[in-house]
Structure 1
Amino acid sequence: MICDKLNNNLIDMCNCCNGCSSRRQGYTFRLSFPKKLLVATSVLVILAMVVMPSEARTLQQHKIRHERRQHDAVAQTKDMRMRQEEKRRPHRRPSPLPQTKDTADRLRSLEADRFKNATRTILKKLKNTRRYFNDERKVLNETREYRDGMPDWLPAINFVAIHFHTYRKQGATLSERKFAYVMPKLYKSLKEFYEIFERLYKVEVDFADDPFCNYNRTRHELIGNTSSRLYSTMEEIKENMMAVKVPIPDVPLSKSLQVLERKVDAPQCLKNDYIAFRAYGNLLNNWFSEFKCPRGKKVTSKNARCTAYEAKLNEKKNKRNKNTER
């Protein structure tokens, strides 16, 4: 019996991996958890629960926390939606500051701009009309035999009176007064030359030879193109005058055109053509210079056209004043 107790103790003390000889010989032992270790673990758990503060919340605290999270989520979603709307919203310019000018001054300035824009459009059209005529006129063979001459059927334009006209009317801007005075005269002069070219186009030549037939074809082409562009320019002037409510002048057919015969010989046809083309070219140059070199602005020596135009008009004006004094 003493031997059995010793064997049991030996078996309890055996901790080898492969098992001891007594196990291989058929001895068995009972598997169990050490009591001391269990007691020590329980004591540590109890101490930890006592020492550490409890994080458990009451039901009311859980409810308050849940409501706070919902409110934060709603506020965050609203901010995100407002930012997206600001990104999609088109950029708006800030409203202009109130102007300090008086209402009457602003209206007067707008009215002046209307007349300035209409004058600028007409001047551009007149410039193109003059350029096309000068280019096509070079194609026509001009004879130098009839350089002088001022027949009755040729209209006379008093550019001295136009250039030195004084605008003293009250209640309107300077642009409006100039437009109302100059544009009817421009339209009238162009309309008179349009009637002249229409009559020259229908002229019949007696005893025309072969060289003159070639010239006649060229002159018909030149007169036809000139009349078309002249009509387009007059329509442009009428349209702008109607836009700013300036009355369009009534230009009746000149009685002096009856002197211009429809059936002439070749030399007379050449003479009439040369006089008409020269006068029309001078008319376009004078009107263009009148717009580009208005009175009152300083004419510099660098602008040769304005200097020559101003000198020519001053010479004519002084000559007329001397004749009047006599």
Structure 2
Amino acid sequence: MDGQRARRGGRGRRAPVPHRVAVLVMDGVIPFELGIPQRIFGRARSADGRRLYEVVTCSVRPPGPVRTDADFDVVVEHGPEALATADTVVVPASHELGPVYEEGRLTDELAAALAHVRPGTRMVSICTGGYVLAAAGLLDGRPATTHWAHAEHFQRLHPRIEVDADVLFIDDGDVLTSAGVAAGLDLCLHVVRRDHGAAVANEVARSTVVPPHRDGGQAQYVQRPVPEPQLATTTTARAWALGRLHEPLQLRDLAEQEAMSVRTFTRRFREEVGVSPGQWLTRQRVERARHLLESTSLSVDRVARESGFGTAQSMRQHLQSVLGVTPTAYRRTFRNADEG
């Protein structure tokens, strides 16, 4: 399994060791974002109750107090050496990035800390923590995101990065970046889902009282002038569609649920959700297909019909586009995620 090491247990058996996540703390760290990895990864459990991750917090300096952007410090018990033991490193945002934010270069202290990271370690940033990955050269030639308010500056400072300011997070394999603040929750839940499947991620989301997957991207949170009162919403139509994903839904069907014209509905939908109705509907069908592939033994053809894709070929194309794998490969990976 991805990120699983093993150690010797009793009677010669090999007991799985939790995937180790190291959270790198810098002065000026935002407490909310600092707590996200522990809250999400620390809650993930296998079907038999085994912890799937171990989260350690480390400083760029020897153990001791680290300033936050609040009126309190945090005491970190691990120094940068802990990064050498990590399978995944998470860099949350800080309001004191100095040369990292202003000039796009690492400080000597931060460079020395990151030198402990082993090759092949998965790197994750939350919000402006992406500036650290960029300054380290880890995002060159890659797609990445950060808080929408910093995206333009981020792109100017690092022109070799393909900055996308509209998404909540970007998964580029061994390097993942998230948008502002709460998007760190979305990204960490995505990592759990990628590692161990939707059932485990959904249980973490449920215990944390957050949605397992948020619709749309950052565009819906950018402040814009509102020319008229936005009294009508598309909530009813979305709820109606979710109960009928297996049916051939048309845009006019959704618009009729809100008594709007197709043009008005499409505009309101994009304002609220951040994507078009068609993009949203496809994403919901992909999520439905993932759930059925993981939790049932239905044939691929039946899963395609139940999730609204109609044919196995159509579902295969959409899963390949969104997830990069075929339905069969996805089922083989995640139906066995908690075994062994």
TM-score by length of 2: 0.23
* Richer in strand (by share): 2
Higher helix share: 1
Rg comparison, structure with higher value: 1
Q: Identify which of structures 1 and 2 has the higher relative contact order when contacts are C-alpha pairs closer than 8 Å and 6+ apart.
A: 1
Q: State the TM-score, normalizing by the size of structure 1.
A: 0.23
